Amino acid sequence: QVQLVESGGGSVQAGGSLRLSCTTSGYPVSRYCMAWFRQAPGKEREGVAHIDGEGRTSYADAVKGRFSISQDGDKDIVYLQMNNLKPEDTAMYYCAADSFGLSGGKLGSKEDYNMWGQGTQVTVTS
């Protein structure tokens, strides 16, 4: 049973940084598409960043230039480096895996991902 476990969330002031980690149990992150999504209270879950098995990345417009997704294939960990955080980045952040290739090598929608972690909370105060 593959498990995705997020960590690294917390509370920071606007302009600060956080690095989220997603560890997988026996899931080869370098072979499949991985992504980070977020969901704020009362809002839909939205894609933030995506990385495919070749290391190519894509981002939501709201985070371009501030967030960076990367992966460590040896440790099967996916990271989300978040810089210059804004209050509107406040949300629960989820790691997701697309083992069927439905995302087509891009961020796609939440329906394209078949495995999810439990989430880690990020709160940005002004």
- Mean pLDDT calculated for residue range 28-55: 93
What's the confidence (pLDDT) of residue 26?
75
- Mean pLDDT calculated for residue range 19-26: 91
Sequence-distant (≥ 6) Cβ neighbours of residue 42 within 8 angstroms: none
Please check the confidence at residue 80 and state whether its pLDDT lies above 80: yes
What's the confidence (pLDDT) of residue 2?
77
- Mean pLDDT calculated for residue range 41-57: 94
What's the confidence (pLDDT) of residue 37?
98
What's the confidence (pLDDT) of residue 99?
87
Sequence-distant (≥ 6) Cβ neighbours of residue 114 within 8 angstroms: 97, 98, 99, 100, 102
Look at 124 and 101; give whichever has higher pLDDT: 124
Neighbours of 106 (CB within 10 A): 14
**Contact between residue 103 and residue 35 where contact means Cβ atoms under 8 Å apart:** yes
d(CA 1, CA 61): 34
Instruction: pLDDT band for 10, please (50, 70, 90 cuts).
Output: very high
| Chain length of the chain | 126
Please check the confidence at residue 77 and state whether its pLDDT lies above 90: yes
Strands, DSSP E only, in the chain? 4-7, 10-13, 18-24, 33-39, 46-51, 57-59, 67-72, 77-82, 91-98, 115-116, 120-125
